[in-house]
A and B are shown apart, each in its own frame.
Chain A
Amino acid sequence: MSDDSTLDQLRQCADDTFRKLQGLGTESDLADAKRLVEELRNAREYPCMGRLAEAVSRHDPKDPRNRRLYAQYLIETGKATAAIDLLKPLAQRLPKDHAEFAEATGLLGRAYKQIFFDAGDKTSAGSREALKQAIMAYRKPFEDNPANTWHGVNLVALLARARRLGLRVAPDLKPQEVARKVVVALEATPENNRDEWFLPTLAEASLGLGDWDAVERNIRAYAANRDTKAFLIASTLRQFREVWDLENVDDQGRGIVAALRARLLELPGGGLDLSPAELHNVRAAPPPTDGQLEAVLGVQGPKTFQWWKTGVERAVAVASIRQQLGGRIGTGFLVRAGDFGLDPKDELLVLTNFHVVNEHGAGDGIPPAGAEIVFEAGAPNQLYLVERILWTSPPDRHDASLLRLKSPVTGLEPLPLAKALPVLEDTVQVYIIGHPGGRDLAFSFQDNELLDHEGPPAGKPQIPGVCRVHYQAPTEGGSSGSPVFNATLWQVVALHHKGGKLSMPKLNGKEGTYGANEGISMLSIRDAIATDHGRLPT
């Protein structure tokens, strides 16, 4: 069973249990709900998790585990102060030797830490106070029991950050000494008791000691593993970037972050959000040496990084489509006219969805005269206007509009088109680069499992001349008009046009629906344009 269908089942199960708790709700339903809250947390299904945790709280308001998980939902969805209001009384009422006490105080530290990192000005009084509170929250459980190494390692990281900022917090603590205690506690853990967090924690504690060789060695021990999990890499990456600010320390730190970023995107379930400025920095930064990439990611490290750099370069040709004097309404990307059989062959055009830009602004779309196009990573200060729509196909067919711009695009490379759809074998990944709704300044690199398509050899297109592609629905909607890339070569295989949480009918005559995104094969768009213009692409 794919991860996608497992996720669908989990969501369905959570919905069913939620409805039961809204009714009479038995003890058994309550127990199921408590288990599901944790499973939803592990799957990062936060909205669903929060709704169920709220329902559990109404039935069993004193369950400390559920309260703590509820607080985690609040933190993950940007409500850190509400989480603090929940966690403080929880920590106060729990006995110090209760298993949930250390968890609740640690999470309290996490909430304050989030407030600090979300602050634009890290030196403001509010953010300094949050940093101070976070340090205090992590300190107590670690000093009570050094086996609480995740508290300890966060304490090390925050102390180091406070010292760099010149803040006088916990002056009696020296980050290196705390780091040493964490390393000692970790190394004393019997091998069969070491969980999946052991190596990431050891790597971070080694950073506190300034032992770069140990940092790279410990990261490699899990990051280079073929079966490593995306959330482990994501966690290390977040700590190293946000807490340690490693990219601004030195080249070695920057190299580690770059390597982790590349590895994260490579893994199933991995994904990255970068602001245009971050994307610019990633492009501009000197690449890590092959030696460092091998030290952090193993022998495949240089290749993994090169692959990621190619993806970054592709992002440069991805544009946001904006309504004049309004906000961003979709995504588009740069293509070469000759790839669609159009002249002049080397003219650069923009492809997006019909429902984003169409002649009369039908549906939620806008007319070409009202559209502005900005390549936010490639030419952020240059605004392009649309001269006219060269070719268009409505949403029930290709949902595509090919735009000619008023001024020529220079200095940017068009996206290469794949000559075939990926073969459906094993687990096939595709990648989407776009600007999802709700995060107006973010480029999102999403990894998605390819579910099905109507292309050769087994596809049975239902709409003549249209070949649809289905891939796993991301946790977030949006990205209309984004390019969908094949996994290895970063060539465009489809134009993304819609998503469905659970209601997307399956393709090729298969019964039922699933949670899927839908794109239109670039080959079918190319062929439709070539047919309409009576010539073959060159």
Chain B
Amino acid sequence: MPHVTFIHGISNKPPADDLLRIWRNALANATEPLPLGDLGVTSSMVYWADLLYEKPEEDSSAYEGVLENTAEAIDGAGDAPLPVPRTPQEAAFLKGLRARLTTLSDKDLATTEPPPVPAEPQGALERVPLPWFIKKRFLNAHLRDVHHYLFDVEFALPGKPPVRIQRTIRQRFVEALGAINVSSPHIVVSHSMGTVIAYDCLKRVGDCPPVDGLITIGSPLGLDEIQDQLQPGWTRDDGFPHEKVRGDWANLFDRLDPVCGFDPKLANDYRKSGVAAIEDLAVQNDGTWRHSATKYLRQASFCATLRRMLGV
């Protein structure tokens, strides 16, 4: 029977079972409903927020909050501190990634007053009409979580032994894909930082099991800073993970999503033998925060794409 493996993105999340239920419900409540369970499609979630956050978000309604008046509702839960680079390479990476999101200085963001709206050029977050005290939480989580994964930082939560972030998440992803309850067609649905993890594993981890399809939503894989860290493995002409993805790769983006909006299309950057093979699909999420996973999942084009890949 068909199976979907989900992998989530940055910031703290509700407990794994709750998050999986929320994502499944988003599909079941979509405009063109895709109730995985009723269609006989099993699903699982690769959960990694517990490696970087002490305890899960207990109020899952905040995660789903439609008012977007909390950090939890905009992928900023967990109060992550800004990462400290250990090498010039890491410093350059963080500087570059930060510049994609904002042109404001740390000093500007540290003031209690609303920071000045910069003249051109503006970063993606400047265009999001939300208070900066909320957006800053997202910014920190984004920089910290992406950095810790891509540079395989050894990280310890209070009272727990240190773990290598990339190594541990890769292990979880590979185990989830090879789990005994997984059968074909098997599709990976990844969001945000989860798209980087999924790609990294499918392209660069030798013992990663193959899948029948890949969907990325709100993905930062189009950014040069990310692509630079996916080498060796990634090249523009042979970036498609054809070694492990037997079928299609579809990428959904919203141009006003601050994570992917800067460079939303992937087809040109992840070609298969020099030929564009990814289906880039533009969507328009509602509200002011366009990066939300559940908003992408509710899109009719997302449901149609997943339905086609699953054959249901």
Contacts and interface: CB of A to CB of B under 8 A. Distances in A.
Interface of A: 226, 299-300, 303, 418-423, 425-426, 428, 455-457, 486-489, 491
B292 to A, nearest CB: 15
A420 B1 contact: yes
A354 B37 CA distance: 30
B33 A456 contact: no
B38 A457 contact: no
Contact of B37 (A226, A419, A425, A455): A425
Contact of A457 (B28, B35, B39, B42): B42
B312 to A, nearest CB: 7
Contact of B61 (A226, A423, A426): A226
A491 B183 CA distance: 24
Interface in B180-202: 181, 183
Given A419-B40, A423-B41, A489 B33 contact: yes
A486 B40 CA distance: 10
B35 A419 contact: no
Interface residues of B, number: 20
Nearest to A424: B37
A423 B29 contact: no
B309 to A, nearest CB: 16
B21 interface: yes
Contact of B40 (A226, A303, A423, A426): A423
Contacts of A486: 35, 38
Contact of B39 (A299, A420, A455, A456): A420
Contacts of B21: 426
Interface of B: 1, 21, 24, 28-29, 33, 35-43, 61, 66, 181, 183, 312
16 contacts: A226-B61, A418-B39, A419-B40, A422-B40, A426-B21, A428-B37, A455-B40, A456-B1, A456-B40, A457-B42, A487-B35, A488-B35, A488-B38, A489-B33, A489-B35, A489-B38
Given A425-B42, A455-B40, 18 more contacts: A226-B61, A418-B39, A418-B40, A419-B312, A423-B1, A423-B36, A423-B40, A425-B37, A426-B24, A426-B37, A428-B37, A456-B1, A456-B40, A488-B28, A488-B33, A489-B33, A489-B38, A491-B38
A423 B181 contact: no
Contacts of B28: 488
A426 B16 CA distance: 13
Contact of B38 (A300, A422, A455): A422
Contact of B66 (A299, A419, A425): A299
Query: Which are the 8 A-B pairs with shortest beta-carbon distances?
Result: A420-B40, A488-B35, A486-B38, A423-B37, A488-B38, A456-B1, A422-B38, A422-B37
* A interface secondary structure, majority: loop
A488 B24 CA distance: 12
Contacts, number: 54
Nearest to B35: A488
Contacts of B183: 457
A281 B166 CA distance: 60
Given A488-B33, A489-B33, A489-B35, A423 B42 contact: yes
Contacts of B66: 299
Contacts of A226: 61
Nearest to A227: B61
Nearest to A488: B35
A421 B35 contact: no
B179 to A, nearest CB: 11
B1 A457 contact: yes
B261 to A, nearest CB: 25
Contacts of A300: 29
B29 A303 contact: yes
Contacts of B312: 419-420
Residue from A422, A423, A425, A489 having most chain B Cβ neighbours under 10 A: A423
A489 B37 CA distance: 11
A282 B52 CA distance: 53
Contacts of B42: 423, 425, 457
Contacts of A457: 1, 42, 181, 183
Contacts of A422: 37-38, 40
Nearest to B25: A426
B64 to A, nearest CB: 9
Nearest to A423: B37
Contacts of B1: 420, 423, 456-457
Nearest to B66: A299
A348 to B, nearest CB: 24
A47 to B, nearest CB: 33
B72 to A, nearest CB: 16
A426 B36 CA distance: 12
B39 A419 contact: yes
Contacts of A488: 28, 33, 35, 38
